[in-house]
Amino acid sequence: MKRYLSALLTICTVALTATSCFDDDDDTTVIYPYAALKSFSIGSLKAYTRSTTAEGKDTLLSTTVNGNLYPFAIDQKNRVVYNPDSLPLGTDVSKVTTGVSCDGIAYIYEENDSVQMYNLLSSSDSLDFTTPRRLLVASTDGNYALEYTVSLNVHTVDPDAMYWEKLQPAPQVQPKRLLPFDGKMLLFGLMDDGTPASSFATIEEGIEWSSTVVLSLPETADLEAVQHFGNTLYVTAAGALYTSSDGENWNKANLAGNIEKLISASDAEGKMWAVVDGCLAYTTDGTSFVTVGDVPKDFPLHNVTSAVYPIVTNNNIIRSVLVGYPNIESKEPCVWSRLSVEDGWMQLIPSGGTEFSCPALHSLSMLRYDNRLLAFGRAGNADGTSIKAFSVLYFSRDNGLTWEPYDNGKMALPEALRGVDAPYASAVDAEQYLWIVTGGDNPSVWRGIINRLAF
């Protein structure tokens, strides 16, 4: 039975005869001189999302949201009640059933054009929470009451969709390599005359880049393979190794041998890999290299990108994945991998043939993002199908063995980049933002993130 009350005084009067919301099976009314909300919950809800049928028609899909999976916090000091984890996008909160545990009796405030009143709360009531609601708990002796504000938080954006923002102005350099360094995004590239240069942007702002600085490096510097190892940056040029502590000032290291190519670097493993005198080698301190053996056939040496991360089951074991081309004439990329507990590298070849191979894209990028590997690039092909620049984002859940295109429409590269076949560089910063810097006639800077990673 519902009992409608027009004022708090009336509530306190009838509190003596109402059943309290203590968690027991005894219907006997017990008189208590205090009131407090102990817990709040909601029942199952409906969520609606728009989709498109195979025939291209718009449709509305309905799913059930289990309210028990969204616990509510009660701030007793400020007397506010809310769900810290927002309900899914599209959840209908206009018809909500509730469960309340309290010391006292619970009432919900009702207000419309003609009536303002408190309604004795029942678990069978269907309530509208499109705006915050006032919930009052009165003591059963009629002398004390507390009012709470209850809000149901609902995502206003799809948590699995990717949000992109274009940052201006863009640095005036043709991008070669982008990487986070010392709290900044550091960009290496070439001036129009081919001179090596760098620029940086603070990650917190990401809006204005520093003035482009011409680097004291030979024009042959392999800027695409700049590595960050320890507190130092490394790059090769004409068989020599150059080091820098800030990305602007470089010094030639006094090392023996022909250091042809830097492959990857991992502070977690404590090794930087390179090709030295035609052999695979690594260094642990940047002052000398340990030769491992000959460079394997089909090992990536051109347009090489790497991802280094701990394996899921043991943070002490580091996985390194390389993607690139054996040489500049190669038509298909190759994927190689190793664990820090293994001696050598292993090529990954999917058993299903070319259908699940890494796409053969020009200036291919491979990054570790959201616990998977992502790949994208300029124009190329995938399993014989022509791909426009930046039109498809590929992912691998099995550490580079197989690759699939995203087809759910949520994870995508910026629409404005599609078909823009220009030099670019990409990186992921510590806050899980994916950066893409393009050059060409219309340079641009894009920064994107999956919405749920920004919550």
What are the structural domains of the chain?
Answer: 4-151 (2.60.40.2340), 162-217+297-454 (no CATH)
Residue 1 is predicted with a pLDDT of 32
Tokens 């950066």, residue?
Answer: 435
Distance set, CA 89 to CA 62, 129, 130, 155, 438 (Å): 12, 15, 13, 5, 33
Question: ∠ CA(323), CA(221), CA(304), 5° rounding?
Answer: 0
Amino acid identity, residue 2? Answer: K
Q: What residue type is assigned to position 341 of the chain?
A: V
Q: Which of 376, 356, 378, 381 is nearest to 365 (CA)?
A: 376
pLDDT at 211: 86
Picking from 254, 295, 264, the residue whose alpha carbon sits closest to that of residue 277 is 295
- The per-residue pLDDT string of the chain (455 residues; one tens digit each, 9 = 90 and over) reads 333 344 444 444 444 445 456 444 455 556 767 899 999 999 999 998 776 555 667 778 899 999 999 999 999 999 999 999 999 989 999 999 999 999 999 999 988 766 788 989 999 999 999 999 999 999 988 889 999 999 999 988 888 889 999 988 888 899 999 999 988 899 999 998 999 999 998 876 556 788 889 999 999 999 999 999 999 999 999 999 999 999 999 999 998 889 999 999 999 999 999 999 999 999 999 999 999 999 999 999 999 999 999 999 999 999 999 999 999 999 999 999 999 999 899 999 988 777 899 999 999 999 999 999 999 999 999 888 899 999 999 999 999 999 999 877 788 999 999 999 999 999 999 999 999 999 998 999 999 999 988 87
